Amino acid sequence: MRFMSLAVKNLLRRPMRSVLTVVGVGLAVAVTVSLSGFILGYKHAINESIDKLGFQVMIMAKGCPYEAATMMLKGGTGLLYLPEDVYDQVRKDPAVESITPVFIGVAEKEAGGIAETASTSFTIVTGIEAATFAAMKPWLALATGPGYDGGRWFLPDAEDEIVMGYEAATYEQRKVGDAFYLSIVPSGRTEPVMRTFKVTGVLARTGSQDDGTVFMPYRTAQKVFGRPGRLTIVGIKLKDFAGPMVAEFSERWVKLPEVQVVGLEQVKSTLVMLVSAAQVMLSAVAVIAVIVATIGVVNTILMSVYERTGEIGIMKAIGASRSDVFQLIWLETLAVCALGAVAGCAAAFLGSRLVERGILALLDIGIHGSIVRITPTVLGAAVAGTIVVGFFAGLYPAWRAASMRPVEAIREGIE
């Protein structure tokens, strides 16, 4: 305790230099924690977003095997469609527990959203069968409260009813009973057709891709987009999701000439693998930041040792042992690193939302939900790692100070 108090006093003798060194360590720790939180949060968000699709397997038109999953996650609109009779055939498969048809298209909507300046913008329209779609996503619920009371799902054969996701309704300032206008260009035509729909319900916030979507009966969507008898995706949940069952199911239906079968566990594994590859690059950035900070710490402590050469010589002359001097300088290094670790962790934690907004502004990562997760484990590992780095960073300056000969150190200090 006596040495720690003396080490802190020595650091305060050059407050600006000590503060800058602590800031350097803190920045390195903040970068490391933020990158670790991003990797952890991104993996979690990928898993959560795919799980909230509600499907285990998707049947889609042949093309990129991960196009449909990316489309569903990002709210995109693939241009490939299935014949609807594929849905009629697959629903009879004994391995299927539940199945739902999905038709996705893009429509122009009238201006009027919050801070909207363009005359028109685009919205994602998803045609679904409400009963089977909601059964696959039991967390879906209609919002309640002022403006949402009395909400319901659209009728199966309704041609002018829609249900809006929470974010879509909030952005468009729509409530239950309001009219919503969509400009749709049917297949085979070049001129848009203006359609008016009635909002029959608004979904409660889910934190998934559904929040920004407009839903309507899938047969209505087929009709208004001019693609009767076509679907974008057939979503399936199997009775047994074990590997052999998925493989057998895929083998049965991949033989159809126009389709491919995509297991979302496979998609999830691939996306996580891609994130892991990016993790190597991000880890390299963090390592460089730590190395630079470590060099700064060693430089600061060495400068402190050189400036106090005479003082260290006097300490040894009046009885301080090599271990006493070593411990003093070593504790100074640990104090700098510990303070930097705490400051960096605090900065990363408090600024995590800012980092998240910055990433989302720069990159279209295609998922919803929080992408930066700074957990106590991440913070604890950062603090422990910084102290370990400080342990080794302080060895050379402490050894250098402890090795000084008293007479030579005093003479050098006087000169």
The ranges assigned to domains in the chain are 2-48+270-414, 57-240
Q: What is the mean pLDDT of residues 290-319?
A: 80
Instruction: For residue 153, name the pLDDT band (cuts at 50, 70, 90).
Output: very high
- Helix, strand, or coil (residue 127): strand
Q: Which of 215, 166, 177, 168 is nearest to 199 (CA)?
A: 177
pLDDT at 271: 66
Whether 384 and 288 have beta carbons less than 8 Å apart is answered as: no
Whole-angstrom Cα distance, residue 51 to residue 268?
A: 9
The per-residue pLDDT of the chain, averaged, comes to 79
φ, ψ at 92 (rounded to 5°): -90, -5
Name the more confident of 306 and 82. Answer: 82
> pLDDT tens for residues 183-208?
888 877 778 888 899 999 999 988 77
From the CB of residue 281, how many other CB atoms can be counted at a distance below 10 Å? 9
Whether 354 and 348 have beta carbons less than 8 Å apart is answered as: no
Q: Among 57-71, 154-168, 310-324, which range has the highest average pLDDT?
A: 154-168
Question: Looking up tokens 């799980």, which residue turns up?
Answer: 51
From the CB of residue 252, how many other CB atoms can be counted at a distance below 10 Å? 13
Give the predicted TM-score (pTM) of the model: 0.60
- Bridge partners (DSSP) of residue 217 are 128
Between the alpha carbon of residue 175 and those of residues 109, 136, 172, 203, 324, the distances in Å are 16, 25, 9, 11, 74
Whether 86 and 69 have beta carbons less than 8 Å apart is answered as: no
pLDDT at 142: 92
Name the more confident of 290 and 110. Answer: 290
